[in-house]
Amino acid sequence: MAKKVHNRILTAALSLFSIFFLFFALKSVGFDKIADAFKRVGWLGAAVLVTFGILENGSDALALCFAMPKKIKLIRVFPSNCIGALVNYIIPWEAGELAKIALLKGPYGAENSIKGIILWNYVFKLSKACALLSMLLISLLLGADFEAEHFFIVLAASGLAFLPYFGVMILLKFNVSTRAVRLIQFVTKKDAAELRAKAEKMDYDLNCFKKERPRDFYLTIIIQFIARYFSLMTFVLCTRFAGFDSMTLSTVVFAYCAVTLSNYFAAVIPMKLGVDEGVGYAIFAFLGLDGSVGLLIKFIIRIKSIIAMSLASLLIVFNKEH
């Protein structure tokens, strides 16, 4: 009980700290500058950005439909996925993944929900890395309006972006779920035959996803890949709508890759709110661009994401399954 209270206090403290961090980061940029950027975006620009946000979120939800071991309706996955993402914005430690499982386990079972979400995240690590590498090459073909040393640093980071995928693949090959249950059984000295059987089934299904369901595997990759390009388009359009059009398209695409790759390293920080904005500032400054522009773009995109995911979350009321 004391541990739960301690965890809740820590979570609340981290959440409050991230809010204060974001506030002071925005204050350093200047609220007048922020207001001007939002005015330039306008209602039409906001509608376009939100539309692309819905397309991105919808694509990710569709990919999850194919990752699930049991047939599932998109109208069920879409709001659940967005609600989980919104939870991740507010609460650290990736609590949103647990929220997704809780929302999907009713009609589809906890085991199927856990498998589907693990598979989605597993494939996502590959599709995201591939998408970023392709975008980096596109930025080069568009004119390479950036320093060569910056390009090679970001290129090296794009190579490192494949490591999480291989890391998870190795864990799956070692049947990590089964080994974890065996360790629990060894420590507690209790019989866990039923739990071990479920873990073995989980490991088998995760390892055989590509072999036994190749169509679902490749569709999950392709749809996630497309979703990352919706994200890129949102970033590009945001720079144009907000009046930061002095940057060339090559620079904007390159900056997007650099900022997104930096989030791999920022992932060790449990907070989400304020971290993305700080990364945007740091990376733009590193590339010789105006750091406040990077922060503003990420802040506008965060607002877009909250609106888009909130609208999609309303679809939960149309779900009749319990």
DSSP letter string, 204-267:
HHHHTHHHH-HHHHHHHHHHHHHHHHHHHHHHHHHHHHTT-TTS-HHHHHHHHHHHHHHHHHHT
CB atoms within 10 A of CB 96: 20
Q: 3-class DSSP state for residue 30?
A: coil
Output b/e per residue, 293-305; b: 16+ Cβ within 10 A.
bbbbbbbbbbebb
Calpha distance 108→124 (Å, rounded): 22
Predicted TM-score (pTM) of this structure: 0.85
**Helix 148-160 crosses helix 110-141 at what angle (to 10 degrees)?**
160
Burial of 67 (0-12, 13-18, 19+ CB in 10 A): buried
Calpha distance 189→200 (Å, rounded): 19
Output b/e per residue, 99-134; b: 16+ Cβ within 10 A.
bbbebbeebbeebbbbbbbbbbebbbbbbbbbbbbe
pLDDT on residue 322? 43
Lowest mean pLDDT among 33-42, 105-114, 123-132: 105-114
Calpha distance 108→111 (Å, rounded): 8
* Single-letter amino acid code for the residue at 92: P
Burial of 214 (0-12, 13-18, 19+ CB in 10 A): exposed
- Whether residue 204 is predicted with pLDDT greater than 90 in this model: the reply is no
Domain boundaries, the chain: 2-318
Q: What is the DSSP letter of 189?
A: -
Q: For residue 271, report the phi and psi dihedrals to the nearest 5 degrees.
A: -80, 155
User: 175, 179, 172: which is closest to 210 by C-alpha?
Assistant: 172
pLDDT on residue 64? 92
- Whether residue 309 is predicted with pLDDT greater than 80 in this model: the reply is yes
| Residue-by-residue DSSP string for 138-173 | HHHHTT--S-HHHHHHHHHHHHHTTHHHHHHHHHHH
Give the pLDDT mean for 17-45.
80
Q: How many residues does the chain have?
A: 322
Average pLDDT, the chain: 81
Q: Which residue has the higher pLDDT, 21 or 208?
A: 208
Q: What is the DSSP letter of 92?
A: T
Give the pLDDT mean for 205-212.
76
- Does residue 250 contact residue 139 with C-beta atoms inside 8 Å? yes
pLDDT digits (tens, 9 = 90+) for 148-194: 888 899 999 988 888 888 887 777 777 666 665 555 454 455 555 55
